[in-house]
Amino acid sequence: MTPAITPEVAVAGRARVGEGPVWDAPSGRLHWVDIPAGHIHTSDPTTGQTSTLTLPTQVGAAVPRRSGGFVAAVAEGFASVEAGMTVRCAILPEGERMNDAKCDRHGRLWAGSTTMDFQPGRGALHVLGPDWTTRVVLEGLTLPNGLDWSPDGRTFYLADTMAGEISAFDADPERATIGRRRTFARFPQGTGMPDGLTVDATGCLWVAMWGGDRVVRLSPDADLLGELPMPVHQPSSCAFGGPALDVLYITSAREGLDLADDDPAGSVFAVNGLGVAGTPAAVFAG
């Protein structure tokens, strides 16, 4: 990172908890959510204009479906979302909700669940298949958050925010399974907590540090390659977008902060000139 690289507001907003950015290449739009508001936003970063779908529930993430509309990770489990219609698949007990989610290259949606009060060990990692069958692939988490795969699909990364760490797993992309687990990175208290993340085309991780005022870049060997200072205290997630997938979009949150009305927290930021690109976002095959 260089001092000349500065995050700029791409979409001005006041999201309580902006999250889950995903670039929709066919439309040239960025989808992202406001979790407690139940909003699925679709923004044009070139104009800053946004359209919004409002769900009658909390929404942790929303990913485009191959057949149109979205599949969303919501409080009850999963939802099929089209304009004016939501069909929910309830798999979670009351007091829990889905959090961050992302599709793998085979069109399956992976999502973490947590309790509303973040009880240790009550979180889990779920996989939703294109046929709408679900299974739990990992238990014993607290607040499963950012998730992504290495470019070859053989390593799966998962942040557990409250634990302050990112785990790496051996992954079988064909069978949608994860195996050997190891601690990839651990962050000391007071430096921010790992939230949403994305993996670039070189295999490096970009991690939004909630409460840490920055986004960090880690090598596949977990070396700290750089830090991107943010003008907000709670950057929440990030994703590459733009025609060349070389713009890093970063969501943020206002929740829990005493802020002036003109504070940019809750907006989506864009960072150009990083010299790296992401990989195309996968869509849900169902």
Taking the C-alpha atoms of 112, 246, 44 and 231 in order, what is their torsion angle to the nearest 10 degrees? 70
Judge whether 100 counts as a catalytic residue: no
Angle ∠(200,61,37) on CA atoms, nearest 5? 135
Q: Which of 66, 42, 13 is nearest to 266 (CA)?
A: 13
Please give the structure tokens belonging to residue 107.
Answer: 């069109």
Could you tell me which residues come within 8 angstroms of residue 59 by beta carbon, excluding any fewer than 6 positions away? 33, 34, 35, 38, 39, 40, 72, 73, 74, 75, 79
Could you tell me which residues come within 8 angstroms of residue 237 by beta carbon, excluding any fewer than 6 positions away? 18, 19, 20, 21, 32, 100, 146, 195, 196, 197, 198, 208, 250, 251
The one catalytic residue in 148, 195, 200, 246 is 195
Residue with tokens 């479906």, as numbered in its chain: 65
- Spatial distance between the Cα atoms of 229 and 1, rounded to a whole number of angstroms: 9
- The sign one gets for the Cα dihedral 283, 277, 177, 31 is negative
The radius of gyration computed from the CA coordinates of the chain, to the nearest angstrom, equals 17
- Spatial distance between the Cα atoms of 143 and 156, rounded to a whole number of angstroms: 17
H-helix segments, 129-197: none
CA 65 from centroid of its chain's CA atoms? 17
- Spatial distance between the Cα atoms of 126 and 1, rounded to a whole number of angstroms: 35
Q: Which residues participate in catalysis according to the annotation?
A: 195
